[in-house]
Amino acid sequence: MTRTVDWLRRYGALLRAAWLQDLQYRASIVLWLLWGVTEPAVALGIWWAIAADGPVQGYARADFARYFFALMLVNQLTIAWDSWYLDSWIREGELNFRLARPIHPAHEAVAENLAYKARTAGMILVVWLIVAAAWPAVRLPFGAGRWALTAAAVLLAAALRFFISFATGLLAFWTTRATAIMELHAGISLFLSGRLAPLALLPPAVARVAGFLWFPYMLAFPVDLLTGAVHGAALLQGFVGQVVWLAVWVGAYRLAWTRGLRRYGAVGG
């Protein structure tokens, strides 16, 4: 019991610090947000043009609008910049004082993610509501059960992307190109996680490959859940996939952390 209270207190302090730090950089955060939504906005513009003559494999213009609005929101809720932080922590020696603290550095990263996402996703949600008031195409049907399931899937996706980003960032213990690897991952995920198009519109072979990897569970699955495109068996399969890949990446993170720390020769003071 006291342990729980202790952890709540710790997280309270970490969250407060992260929130205040973000407050200081709120204009920069708005720019990152803007940058984050241009890619789906441009993709929507192109699909909008393509769907002018009628639905594309069942996706009409309004479906694309809903898909990419949901993508903007889910992407913002699940995005993880931790690779870049870890890379600089390790290379610049900023990891040292974090290791000296009586709390694992990952908790600071989790708190930062929570504060950042609450702020930015909140902004997207407000914009979405305003747009939806004028543009019926992006309205989502209300369904408490579906929204609860979506919330669970978004949480799992956020955890998955956090551990992918954290584990990849830890590669900075061995190489100076950890962030380049993360960018490679981002390039692949453009297709396989559904950032460019709903997976159903990719070549079937590519979509099948994606199904064997973790990419669809980062974004496409929670997005489809939110727009109402997933039903029945696919729903269960989606959650199973998320949990399995989360376990794999947690394993990868633990391996990289223990092995990496052993060979870490601290830099800087």
Partner 1 sequence: MRIAELQWEVERGGKPGGTTLAMTFRIPQSAIRILVALWRLNVAEELQYRANFVASLLGTTFWIGTALLTLAVFFRHTTRLGDWDYWEVVVLLGVFNTLTGVIEAVLRPGIGRLAGEVKSGGLDLVLAKPVDAQGFVSFRRLDVWRLTDVVLGLTLAGYALHRLGRVPSVVQLAAFGLALAAAVVVVYALWVALMSLAFWFVSVENLSVLFDAVYEGARYPVSAYPGALRFVFVYLIPIAWTTTIPASALTGRLEPGFALVAAAVAGVAFALTRLLWRTALKRYSGASG
Interface ranges with partner 1 (CB under 8 A): 24-25, 27-28, 31-32, 34-35, 38-39, 42, 45-50, 56-57, 177, 180, 184, 187, 190-191, 196-197, 201-203
Shortest separation between residue 23's beta carbon and partner 1, angstroms? 11
- State the Cα–Cα distance between residues 70 and 226, nearest whole angstrom: 7
Shortest separation between residue 172's beta carbon and partner 1, angstroms? 16
By the 10 Å C-beta count (0-12 exposed, 13-18 middle, 19+ buried), 38 is classed as exposed
- State the Cα–Cα distance between residues 162 and 80, nearest whole angstrom: 5
Q: Whose Cβ is closer to partner 1: residue 88's or residue 96's?
A: 88
Q: Whose Cβ is closer to partner 1: residue 54's or residue 145's?
A: 54
What is the phi/psi pair of residue 56, to 5°? Answer: -100, 110
Q: Whose Cβ is closer to partner 1: residue 153's or residue 192's?
A: 192
> Token digits for 197?
């198009």
Shortest separation between residue 209's beta carbon and partner 1, angstroms? 13
Shortest separation between residue 159's beta carbon and partner 1, angstroms? 27
Shortest separation between residue 162's beta carbon and partner 1, angstroms? 22
Shortest separation between residue 84's beta carbon and partner 1, angstroms? 12
Q: Whose Cβ is closer to partner 1: residue 48's or residue 239's?
A: 48
- State the Cα–Cα distance between residues 235 and 231, nearest whole angstrom: 5
Number of other residues whose CB lies within 10 A of the CB of residue 246: 20
As a residue count, the chain comes to 269
- State the Cα–Cα distance between residues 221 and 227, nearest whole angstrom: 10
Q: Which residues is 56 bridged to in the sheet? A: 59
- State the Cα–Cα distance between residues 83 and 99, nearest whole angstrom: 17
Q: Whose Cβ is closer to partner 1: residue 189's or residue 242's?
A: 189
What is the phi/psi pair of residue 59, to 5°? Answer: -95, 110
Residue 238 in 3-state DSSP? helix
Q: Whose Cβ is closer to partner 1: residue 51's or residue 114's?
A: 51
Shortest separation between residue 29's beta carbon and partner 1, angstroms? 9
Q: Whose Cβ is closer to partner 1: residue 20's or residue 180's?
A: 180
Residue 59 in 3-state DSSP? strand
Single-letter amino acid, residue 47: W
Shortest separation between residue 35's beta carbon and partner 1, angstroms? 5
> Token digits for 85?
């932080």
- State the Cα–Cα distance between residues 61 and 53, nearest whole angstrom: 10
Q: Whose Cβ is closer to partner 1: residue 6's or residue 183's?
A: 183
